[in-house]
Amino acid sequence: MDKRSSDLNLHQRMELIVRDMVDKEISLKDALREFEKIFYEQTARKHEGNQTKMARSLGIHRNTLHNRIKVLKIKKRY
């Protein structure tokens, strides 16, 4: 696949990232944790850290979001 990443759809872009992670022997647990952390960080930026809006956008309860932020040790950088 020699297309530029901007020409690839979401599935193709993620496939490239996952292939790299598999090549580096990153465990599924670590990969999912990193994905979740990045997803929450990007959602926080979009909603300027407003956890109510973040939870609504993610489709989870605000308390669940708060707990996941704590477990994943996400620092406020938005």
Domain count, the chain: 1
- Output the domain CATH number for residue 52: 1.10.10
In a domain, 5, yes or no: no
Residue 27 sits in which domain range?
A: 10-72
**pLDDT tens, residue by residue, 15-48:** 999 999 999 999 999 999 999 999 999 999 999 9
User: Is 41 exposed, middle or buried, given 0-12, 13-18 or 19+ CB atoms closer than 10 A?
Assistant: middle
In a domain, 47, yes or no: yes
In a domain, 21, yes or no: yes
In a domain, 1, yes or no: no
pLDDT of residue 5: 63
In a domain, 40, yes or no: yes
DSSP string, 22-64: HHTT--HHHHHHHHHHHHHHHHHHHTTT-HHHHHHHHTS-HHH
In a domain, 4, yes or no: no
Question: pTM for this one?
Answer: 0.80
